[in-house]
Structure 1
Amino acid sequence: MHLSENEGIEGQTFVVAGGLGFVGSSLCLELLRRGAHQVRTFDLCTTSPCSHHLLNKGVHCIPGISLSLSLCQILIMIGDVTRKQDVQKALHGADCVFHRASYGMSGKEMLQFGRVDDVNINGTCHVLEACVEHGVKRLVYVSTYNVVFGGKEIINGNETLPYFPLDDYVDPYSRSKCIAEQLVLKSNGRPLKKKNGNLYTCAIRPAAIYGPVSPVNSFEFLRPLLQSLEYDLPKRSLAVSHALVLGRIFQLVYTILYPWLNRWWLPQPLMLPTEVHEVGVTHYFSFLKAKEELGYVPMVSPQEGMAATISYFQERKMRSLDGPTIYTWMFSVIGMTLLFIAAYWPAFGPVSLLRDFCLFFFRSMWVMRMVFILATAAHIGEAMYAWHLAKKVDPLNARGWFWQTLALGVLSLRFLLKRARK
C-alpha cells in the first residue's frame, strides 16, 4: 500500500509528546509542512539543543497549558506526562498523538527505577486515558527495539520476535517500555467516550540503524566521523564478557550513589551492562514490513547522511570549547586541592595522613609548597596566554578558555594550540 505524502495529515491537529528532542522537533516541522492544521509539542523542558529548529520557524512557547490552543500552528506546551491533568489539557481537541516521551534510556537516568516507571508506564497510561476521554482516534507509540533485545544476538529481526521476558531485563528502561508498548497495543480498538468510533494504536521500535540495506558495523561506520573530528581511534579492544564485568561494577557503584544521581557534579558512568549489550552484541532488524505496507523508501543515502553529519559536528566543535574528559578534570582539580591541603593546612586527622603520603614523594614541606606555588603560577600564566591566543583564534570562547586553562593548565592549553594550528 502506497500513501500520498499528505494523506491523513492535512487539516488535522497533532500532539507530539516529548517533542523538543531532535526527532520530535523534526517531526513537528514535517507535520506542519505536510499540511497539519496545528502541531503541539508537549514536553517537560522549556528548551533543548534542538528547540531552535522550532523557534526559528516562529514557534511560540507557552509557559502554562491553560491558554487558548488556537493561537498558532505549532505550540510548545510545557507539561509532564506523569501529571494526568497536564496530559488531559494537552490532548484536548487533538486528532492524533505521537507519544515519544520517555526516561532512562542511558547513563545515570537508567538507574532511577521509580522515575523510569513513572514516566514510561504511568505516563503512557495517562496518554491512553486522555485519548479515550477526548476522542483522539490515533496514537503512535515510539517504543524501542529493547523490548525484544536483551543481550542475545538478533539477525535480521522483524515484528514477529517475542517480547523478552520481563524478569530477564537488565535495566528498568527496557522493561518499562515493554510494559508500556503492550498496554498501547492492547488498547487498539478501545471505544472512545465523547465521540463515535474507536482508538487505533500502533508502535514503532527505533534503533541505532543507519542505511537502507545491509547491517552496519558501528565502529567502522563511525571511523570517518571520528577521523574528521581528529579524535583518536581506539587502539585496543575489550571482550564483551570483560566489559560486562566493568559495567556491573559501575552499576553497583552508582546504585550506592543513588541519592546523588541528579547532581551535576556526578559524572555519567563509563558504561552499564545494557550499553555493553547494545554496543558489543550483534543485533539488526528488517524494515520490510514498513516497505511493503507503508511504501517506506529511505530518503537519504548513507554517504549523504555521513557527509551532513561530519559537517554538522565539525561546525559544532568549532563553536564550543575542546577539553579533556571529566576524569581529567577530577584528577587536576582534586590533585591541586589535595596538594594545597597537605602543604598549608594544620596537621590534624586525615590531613596528617595526606601530608605523610605527599612527603613520601616530595621529601620536605619546602619542596611541597614550592611545587604548589610553581604549579599555580604555571596555571595562571597558561590561562593568560590561553585568553590572549583565544582572542585571535576563538574570540567567542576566550573567557571559557581562560577559566578552563586556569583549572587544568596544559591539559586544556594543548587543545587550544591544536585549534590555533588549523
Structure 2
Amino acid sequence: MAVRENEGIKGNRFVVTGGLGFVGSALCLELLKRGAAEVRSVDTRAYSPWYQHLQKNGVRCIRVREFYTGDVTQKKDMEKALQGVNCVFHLASYGMSSKEMLQTGLIEEVNLNGTCNVLDVCHEIGIRRFVYVSTYNVVFGGKEIINGNESLPYYPIDEHIDPYGRSMSTAEQLVLKSNGRPSDIQVNKKQSDVHLHTCAIRPAAIYGPGEERYFARILSLGQIGLLFVRVGDASVKTDWVYVDNLVQALILASVGLLDDISGREGNPIAAGQAYFISDGSPVNTFDSIISPLFKSLDYNVPKLTIHVRLALILSQIFWFISMLFYPFLNQPWVPGPLLLPAEVYKVCSIVAAAFAIDFTMITRIGVTHYFSHLKATEELGYVPMVSPHEGLNRTISYWKDRKQKEINRPNILFWIFCIGGMLALFYTAFLTPCGPLRWLNSLSLFLFRSVFNLRLVFYIAAALHISEAIYIWLLARRKDPANAPGWFLQTFLLGYPSTKLFLKKFH
C-alpha cells in the first residue's frame, strides 16, 4: 500500500472516545505528533493521570465538567463533540474487570448504545472514517487457538460467559455492517455520495509504561506480600501487545480507510475488515512478564499453584457476596469482588492473591490461544516497532522508577502485627473486657502482670511510634518531600518497620 507518511493525519481533525485512558491518551499524543490539526478526547472519567499532560500538549479534553459531556450514551453530546472531524477512534467501553463486570445494564448501555450513537452521528454529519477497538473474545470461546486468523467465526453471542464479551462482539458486528453506509451530507455538487468506512482492531492484552489496569494492583499486592499463588498451567501461551505498537496499528487502520488514495478510490483496503494486533510473540504470562517484573522490583515471586477448579469455586462465592451489594456497586466504598467466574475463565497462568485479586489482564485459563497479525501486515503495513524484549524493559524501567518515587510498603504481616498489637494493648489496658475477647484480657494480664504495666507499655509504644513518625517526617521533607505526609502516617501506624524501610531506601 503506497501512501505517504502521515497520509490522512496531517491537517485533519480526530476524536478519540475513551481518550483519557492508557491507550487513548497515547493515541491522542501520537496523532498530534504526526501533524493532526486537532485532537479531541471524549471521556466521562472525572480523573485521569494523563489529563494534565494531554491538555498541556494541545489535546482538547471533553469531559463531564464542560457545557456538554464526553458521554457516548448521550447522542446529543456526541453530535457536538464530533462536529467537523475527519475520523473517529472509538475506544470507549465498560465492564472489562472487577465490579464493573456485574453491571450488565451499564455495560450494554455504553458498549452497545454508545457505539450506536457514535456510528449514527458519524453517518448523519458525514464523517468518513471510523476505527473501532474490539477484543480477542469476539472469536475466542475457551478452545485452544494456535496462530488464529480473521477467518474464524464469531463466538456465539448467547454462549459468552460475561456481558462485556457479549456486548463487544455485538458492537463489532454492528460496526463492520455499518461499513459503506451512505450519508445524506452533500460535499459538493459533483460529489453527493459520502460513505462511512469502518474497521475493527482486535488487540491482545496491552502493556507498557503507565498501564494501570493490569500491573498496578498486582505489583502493589506483591509489595506487601499478598501475592503468593499462581493460577494455571505454565505451558499456556497468549498474546500481548505493547502500547506503541497498538497505537501504530490504529493509525494505520485509519489510513487504510482513506477512499481518495490513487488506485483505490472509493474502495479503502481496510473498509469492513477486522484485524488482530499483537507483538507477534506469544508467551507464558507469568514466566515472561510477571516473574521478571517481580524480580526487578525485589518482590517475592509466587511459587505455589492452585487448580482451576478451586479458583472457580472461590469465584462463585465471591460473586454471590458481591451481588448482595449490587445497588451500591458504583459507590467507592464498595470494594471490587476478589474474583469472578468470568475472570477465572479469562486467566492464563497469572498470579492469585490470598485476600485480593485482579485477574482482568488475561484471557482464558489453561488454554493456549494466540493470533497472527499477518493480515494487518499485508493490508495495513503493520510491523511491530517495539519488540517484546524492549517493551518489557521499558515497562520494568517505568515501575522501578515509580517505586523510587513512592512510599515503600512493609509486608502485610507487619501491618497486622503492629496495628493489631497496638489495638490489643489499648483494649486490654483501658477497656472493660467483654464477650469473646475476655481471653485477650486474661492473656495480657498473664504476660504483663497488671493493668498498670499494660498501660505503661502502651504509653511507651505510642511515644516511640510518635517520635519515630516525627523523625521520619523531618527526614522525608528533605529526601522525599512529595511523600513526607505518607511516610509520617505509615511510620505512626507501624513504627520501626516503616523507619527501617525509609532508612534503607535513602541510605
For this structure pair, what is the TM-score category when the shorter chain's length is used for normalisation? 0.7 to 0.9
User: How many angstroms does 1:414 deviate by?
Assistant: 4.7
Residue 86 (structure 2) pairs with residue 121 (structure 1): no
User: How many angstroms does 1:391 deviate by?
Assistant: 3.6
Name the stretch that deviates more: 127-136 or 315-324: 315-324
Q: Larger RCO: Structure 1 or Structure 2 (Cα < 8 Å, ≥ 6 residues apart)? A: 2
Match of 2:158 in 1: 167
User: How many angstroms does 1:194 deviate by?
Assistant: 2.6
User: How many angstroms does 1:16 deviate by?
Assistant: 0.4
Indicate conservation of the 8 Å contact 2:161/2:342, yes or no.
yes
Q: Distance in 2 between matches of 1:166 and 1:369?
A: 65
Indicate conservation of the 8 Å contact 2:444/2:454, yes or no.
yes
Indicate conservation of the 8 Å contact 1:65/1:86, yes or no.
no
Q: Distance in 2 between matches of 1:279 and 1:363?
A: 50
Q: String of CA shifts for 1:260-288, please: whole Å, max 9, x gaps.
A: 43333444433333333333232221111
For residues 322-361 of structure 1, the aligned pairs below 5 Å read 322-323=408-409, 340=426, 344=430, 352-356=434-438, 358-359=440-441, 361=443
2:202 corresponds, among 194, 202, 205, to: 205
Match of 1:102 in 2: 93
Match of 1:259 in 2: 327
Q: String of CA shifts for 1:186-230, please: whole Å, max 9, x gaps.
A: 222222133432222111111211474431111122232222222
Q: String of CA shifts for 1:58-90, please: whole Å, max 9, x gaps.
A: 4455667988xxxxxxxxx85211222211111
User: How many angstroms does 1:127 deviate by?
Assistant: 0.8
1:139 corresponds, among 130, 133, 140, to: 130
TM-score (norm. length: structure 2): 0.72
Match of 1:71 in 2: none
Identity rate, percent: 54
2:287 corresponds, among 214, 220, 241, to: 220
User: How many angstroms does 1:18 deviate by?
Assistant: 0.7
Match of 1:230 in 2: 298
Q: Distance in 1 between matches of 2:417 and 2:50?
A: 33
What is the identity, as a one-letter code, of the residue corresponding to 1:136?
I
Residue 382 (structure 2) pairs with residue 292 (structure 1): no
> Residues 175, 63 of structure 1: CA spacing in aligned structure 2 closer, same or farther, 3 A cutoff?
closer
For residues 308-323 of structure 1, the aligned pairs below 5 Å read 308-323=394-409
User: How many angstroms does 1:290 deviate by?
Assistant: 0.3
Q: String of CA shifts for 1:234-274, please: whole Å, max 9, x gaps.
A: 12122222222222322222222223433334444333333
Taking only aligned residues, the RMSD between alpha carbons, in angstroms, comes to 3.1
For residues 396-411 of structure 1, the aligned pairs below 5 Å read 396-410=482-496
Q: From the two aligned structures, give the one with the greater helix fraction.
A: 1
Q: Unpaired runs of 5+ in structure 2?
A: 187-192, 206-239, 242-277, 349-364
> Residues 285, 79 of structure 1: CA spacing in aligned structure 2 closer, same or farther, 3 A cutoff?
same
Q: How many aligned positions are there?
A: 408
What is the identity, as a one-letter code, of the residue corresponding to 1:18?
G
What is the identity, as a one-letter code, of the residue corresponding to 1:50?
W
Match of 1:50 in 2: 50
Q: Distance in 1 between matches of 2:481 and 2:435?
A: 45
Q: Distance in 1 between matches of 2:494 and 2:65?
A: 45
Indicate conservation of the 8 Å contact 2:21/2:48, yes or no.
yes
What is the identity, as a one-letter code, of the residue corresponding to 1:359?
N
TM-score (norm. length: structure 1): 0.85
> Residues 327, 253 of structure 1: CA spacing in aligned structure 2 closer, same or farther, 3 A cutoff?
farther
User: How many angstroms does 1:116 deviate by?
Assistant: 1.7
Q: Distance in 1 between matches of 2:104 and 2:414?
A: 30
Match of 1:271 in 2: 339
Q: Distance in 2 between matches of 1:324 and 1:122?
A: 46
User: How many angstroms does 1:395 deviate by?
Assistant: 2.9
> Residues 363, 151 of structure 1: CA spacing in aligned structure 2 closer, same or farther, 3 A cutoff?
farther
Residue 243 (structure 2) pairs with residue 246 (structure 1): no
Q: Unpaired runs of 5+ in structure 1?
A: 68-76
> Residues 381, 269 of structure 1: CA spacing in aligned structure 2 closer, same or farther, 3 A cutoff?
farther
User: How many angstroms does 1:297 deviate by?
Assistant: 1.0
What is the identity, as a one-letter code, of the residue corresponding to 2:81?
A
Indicate conservation of the 8 Å contact 2:491/2:499, yes or no.
yes
Q: Distance in 2 between matches of 1:335 and 1:270?
A: 27
User: How many angstroms does 1:172 deviate by?
Assistant: 2.0
Q: String of CA shifts for 1:313-368, please: whole Å, max 9, x gaps.
A: 22222222222589986887678667756764567xxxx32533533643578376
Q: Distance in 2 between matches of 1:331 and 1:110?
A: 35
